[in-house]
């Protein structure tokens, strides 16, 4: 009985062979008996391995060299600057954010901003406490800034604190026709949670402005019931006379 021919597998471009039980010379007839498809797979593997080793070697040389510390410091500073710039509403980088939102369209952009507000990802206005912007239309009603977010954007009280920190002097929720209805239950829960947050010692940070609500109704009694339901969580009401 003749001896079984060993199974040969070339693993790299240097001609090394691994097999079960024997090893053939790099240029032997056995080493060249690979199907064309398998040969292409082996060559592609060799090429990818060589590229990976070369890239890894360049990174190691860059980090371990005499300029590695400088490269690390510059990279860390760049990351910190970008994070701080995106956190500041007056940063020039937010021109890119505006362009991206315009590409989304009105409805998709509104949804993206509301999700960012709910997660606390909106930029902040660190120069909001300007005394020249304060407006006192009457006693007990003090607007930190004369520009606010009108009703129709945050209709369900998703992120009023985030919009206040963004620079608005007030945020108007709604419009809501029936704050007592089941559909408004999530909004009432969010307003109650916001009030608890403000009472926990963070009021000076997250409550830099007023939060109101636009309400409507078919009678004065309906308006009174609405105010009684959510009035303790709000600073003012805007009555929609069209309702």
pLDDT tens column, 42-96? 888 888 877 776 666 666 666 666 666 676 777 777 777 667 667 788 787 778 8
Domain C-terminal end among 49, 76, 104: 104
Residue 176 forms part of a structural domain? yes
Residue 225 forms part of a structural domain? yes
Name residues whose C-beta falls within 8 Å of residue 184's C-beta, 6 or more positions apart in sequence. Answer: 176, 178
Number of Cβ within 10 Å of residue 35's Cβ equals: 8
State the pLDDT at residue 212. 93
Note whether 42 and 147 are same-domain residues. no
Task: Specify the range with the lowest mean pLDDT, choosing from 39-43, 164-168, 189-193, 217-221.
Answer: 217-221
**Domain residue limits at 16:** 8-64
State the pLDDT at residue 180. 67
Residue 115 forms part of a structural domain? no
Note whether 185 and 150 are same-domain residues. yes
Note whether 52 and 77 are same-domain residues. no
| pTM across the whole model | 0.64
First to last CA, the chain: 101
- Could you give the number of structural domains in the chain? 3
Note whether 33 and 91 are same-domain residues. no
Confidence band of 148 (pLDDT split at 50, 70, 90): very high
Residue 1 forms part of a structural domain? no
State the pLDDT at residue 22. 45
Confidence band of 197 (pLDDT split at 50, 70, 90): low
Are 218 and 239 in contact, with CB atoms under 8 Å apart?
no
Number of Cβ within 10 Å of residue 51's Cβ equals: 10
Over the chain, what is the mean pLDDT?
Answer: 76
Note whether 195 and 146 are same-domain residues. yes
Note whether 46 and 76 are same-domain residues. no
Residue 109 forms part of a structural domain? no
Note whether 232 and 218 are same-domain residues. yes
Q: Tokens 């600057």 correspond to what residue?
A: 81
pLDDT at 190 > cutoff 60 = yes
Provide, rounded to the nearest whole percent, the portion of the chain with pLDDT above 90.
16
Note whether 126 and 229 are same-domain residues. yes
| pLDDT (average), residues 122-133 | 83
Note whether 168 and 91 are same-domain residues. no
Name residues whose C-beta falls within 8 Å of residue 49's C-beta, 6 or more positions apart in sequence. Answer: 12
Q: Do the strands 17-19 and 8-10 form a parallel or antiparallel pair, or are they unpaired?
A: antiparallel
Residue 33 forms part of a structural domain? yes
Residue 28 forms part of a structural domain? yes
Name residues whose C-beta falls within 8 Å of residue 12's C-beta, 6 or more positions apart in sequence. Answer: 46, 49
Residue 112 forms part of a structural domain? no
State the pLDDT at residue 192. 82
pLDDT at 6 > cutoff 60 = no
| pLDDT (average), residues 210-229 | 82
Note whether 98 and 194 are same-domain residues. no
Note whether 49 and 131 are same-domain residues. no
Task: Specify the range with the lowest mean pLDDT, choosing from 56-65, 157-166, 178-187, 203-212.
Answer: 56-65
Note whether 28 and 94 are same-domain residues. no
């Amino acid at each position: 009985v003749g001896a079984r021919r060993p199974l040969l597998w070339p693993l790299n471009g240097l001609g090394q062979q691994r097999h079960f039980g024997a090893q053939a010379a790099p240029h032997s007839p056995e080493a060249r008996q690979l199907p064309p498809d398998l040969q292409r797979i082996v060559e592609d593997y060799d090429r990818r391995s060589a590229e990976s080793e070369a890239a890894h070697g360049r990174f190691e040389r860059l980090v371990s060299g005499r300029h590695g510390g400088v490269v690390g410091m510059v990279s860390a500073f760049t990351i910190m600057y970008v994070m701080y710039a995106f956190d500041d509403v007056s940063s020039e980088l937010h021109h890119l954010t505006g362009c991206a939102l315009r590409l989304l369209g009105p409805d998709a952009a509104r949804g993206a901003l509301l999700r960012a507000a709910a997660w606390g990802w909106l930029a902040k206005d660190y120069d909001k406490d300007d005394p020249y912007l304060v407006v006192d239309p009457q006693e007990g009603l003090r607007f930190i800034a004369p520009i606010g977010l009108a009703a129709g954007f945050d209709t369900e009280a998703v992120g009023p604190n985030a919009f206040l920190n963004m620079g608005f002097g007030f945020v108007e929720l709604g419009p809501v026709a029936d704050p007592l209805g089941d559909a408004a239950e999530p909004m009432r829960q969010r307003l109650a949670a916001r009030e608890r947050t403000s009472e926990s010692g963070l009021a000076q940070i997250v409550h830099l402005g007023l939060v109101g609500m636009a309400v409507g109704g078919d009678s004065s009694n309906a308006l009174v019931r609405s105010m009684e339901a959510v009035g303790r969580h709000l600073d003012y009401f805007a009555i929609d006379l069209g309702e």
